[in-house]
Amino acid sequence: MDAALTPRNPARVPATIDALLAWGADELDAAGIATARVDAAVLIGHVLDMSRGEVEAKAVTRAPVDPALMVTIVDAVTRRAAREPLQHITGVAYFRGITLHVGPGVFVPRPETETVAQFAIDALLARPTAEPLAVDLGSGSGALALALATEVPHARVVAVERTPAAVPWTRRNVGRLGDGRVELVVGDLADALPQLNGQVDVVVSNPPYIPERAVPRDPEVRLHDPVEALYSGADGLDAMRAVAATAMRLLSPGGTLVVEHGEEQADAVAGILRMAGLRAVATHRDLVGRDRATVATR
């Protein structure tokens, strides 16, 4: 093995899963990754076609690793140590029980967005129609649209996405998981779907909401997430204003809008929704107690 493969040089690491796991965890910890051992196990499992649990079990028995595959594991860990997103290396992201294909050009769905999905799912289930209709504005990977379609199987869902780099990922995931009930519409969320004005039961969106001069703390976000999915005007809320106006146009009376936003934006977002004409505006916290989702009614 080439001794220059990584800065910390795994050349003398024995070709066993336990040794690779220990080395990988140490490498990622040194790179400042909080989930170092988990990520190392996921990467090893990705290369060896094992689950993370299987990797941990094989580590106990000091199972051997083919030298060629060891080189591939070293490469994967090196990429992650350089703060390339784990999901870009494995090519998949997990969201509420579904597996999404992701990569450069599309926003990687975050765990906190699962809370947003739950509010939209609950609102969709509450609609007294045989086939409720939902719209996901700025769908990206399709995570929200597909979660709604999966968990509310009698619903019809439209995913709206315009970014050329993201659309192939949306199309790929919708094609795999949409089961014919999710339609992808390529277009801008600001003027999307005029043919559905006044007919939609639930609008959900995780729009870009970072102010244009802000610098995201995490290198994975700053260096790898698409700028179109991050930044939106001086206060970060230009896209939110467009979402509010579009939701007001699309929703039927009693329909629900669910949006994700930054934890310090709750008051501003509530004001935007009220200004657009929406009512019963309520902010909700995510699983770690941060103001993350706001729900409003047409």
Residues 124 and 147: beta-carbon distance below 8 Å: no
Binding-site residues from annotation for S-adenosyl-L-methionine: 138-142, 161, 206
pLDDT tens string 115-172: 999 999 999 999 999 999 999 999 999 999 999 999 999 999 999 999 999 999 999 9
Helices marked H in 127-253 — which ranges?
Answer: 143-151, 167-177, 219-224, 238-250
CATH of segment(s) 92-297: 3.40.50.150
The residue-averaged pLDDT of 256-270 equals 97
Confidence of residue 15 (pLDDT cuts 50, 70, 90): confident
Domain range list for the chain: 17-82, 92-297
Mean pLDDT across the chain, nearest whole number? 93
The full 3-state SS of 48-103, as one line of letters, equals HCCCHHHHHHHHHCCCECCHHHHHHHHHHHHHHHCCCCHHHHHCEEEECCEEEECC
Binding-site residues from annotation for substrate: 206-209
Could you give the angle at which helices 36-48 and 52-60 cross, rounded to 10 degrees? 90
pLDDT tens string 166-199: 999 999 999 999 999 999 999 999 999 999 999 9
Looking at the predicted structure, is the pLDDT value of residue 56 above 50?
yes
Binding-site residues from annotation: 138-142, 161, 206-209
pLDDT tens string 72-92: 999 999 999 999 999 999 999
